[in-house]
């Protein structure tokens, strides 16, 4: 994938290969091109050249809705949630289950949300107001949203910057659970600390290019990276 903005080459022939049921760390200093790549994978930007294959078929990710329909979900350092809505309303925002008369089926929505939350092992209820949740719980809510859409790829873009060590451990526990269920989990960071907790393989970027592609984490040291 290549992409430029004006005279700046943000991405130059970047090759990223993800596998189901695997944790993949994408690392590099600020400005390496990581965020631009995420925006292309989630339909915010379009590539100038290159192709995106999912299960061997080329796809054009023209919007966030297209990305979601293809099973690609992303969570960020600052979660994108509706503070004045409940946890269940956030999980099913834009796709609330409807009853026979077209009204929202609140009972079904809360039951389905409870099922997702139980799978993640979180300790807040579907009717909890999101405004009362901390950053760590709001990020778990983002993962719950991804799980409810049967995401095949979960992109975690700098998710640990504002979390305590205990919250980071819990986030990685949930991410490993998704990985074990067959989701491709992408952990993006400009810091190497924590990469070993989630990654089976690592891709390193620098100045818009890949400098190490899909290196197995086993046997790779921080000095190597």
| The pLDDT of residue 16 is above 90 | yes
Coil/strand/helix, residue 115: helix
Per-residue pLDDT band at 164 (split at 50, 70, 90):
confident
Give me the pLDDT at residue 26, please: 94
pLDDT tens-digit profile of 57-74?
999 999 988 998 899 988
pLDDT tens-digit profile of 181-199?
899 999 998 777 677 788 9
Contact 204, 28 (CB under 8 A): yes
User: Could you give the CA distance from residue 8 to residue 140 in angstroms, rounded to a whole number?
Assistant: 35
Q: Which tops the pLDDT comparison, 152 or 121?
A: 152
Strands 209-216 and 201-206: what pairing? Answer: antiparallel
Terminus-to-terminus CA distance in the chain, angstroms? 22
Contact 51, 58 (CB under 8 A): yes
User: Could you give the CA distance from residue 144 to residue 146 in angstroms, rounded to a whole number?
Assistant: 5
Give me the pLDDT at residue 80, please: 80
pTM: 0.85
Sequence-ordered alpha helix ranges (H) in 121-223: 135-148, 165-180, 195-198
């Amino acid at each position: 994938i290549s992409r430029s903005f004006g005279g700046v080459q943000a991405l130059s022939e970047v090759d990223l290969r993800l596998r189901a049921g695997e944790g993949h760390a994408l690392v590099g200093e600020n400005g390496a091109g990581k965020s631009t790549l995420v925006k292309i994978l989630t339909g915010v930007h379009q590539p100038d050249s290159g192709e995106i294959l999912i299960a061997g078929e080329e796809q054009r990710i023209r919007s966030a809705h297209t990305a979601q329909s293809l099973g690609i979900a992303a969570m960020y350092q600052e979660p994108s949630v509706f503070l004045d809505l409940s946890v269940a309303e956030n999980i099913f925002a834009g796709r609330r289950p409807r009853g026979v008369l077209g009204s929202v089926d609140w009972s079904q929505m809360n039951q389905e949300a409870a099922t997702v939350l139980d799978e993640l092992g979180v300790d807040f209820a579907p009717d909890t107001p999101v405004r009362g949740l901390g950053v760590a719980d709001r990020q778990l809510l983002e993962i719950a949203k991804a799980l409810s859409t049967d995401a095949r790829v979960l992109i975690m873009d700098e998710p640990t910057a504002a979390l305590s060590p205990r919250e980071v451990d819990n986030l990685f526990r949930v991410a490993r659970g998704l990985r074990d269920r067959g989701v491709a989990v992408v952990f993006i960071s400009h810091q190497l600390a924590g990469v070993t907790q989630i990654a089976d393989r690592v891709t390193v970027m620098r100045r818009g290019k890949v400098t190490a592609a899909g290196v197995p984490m086993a046997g790779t040291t921080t000095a190597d990276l």
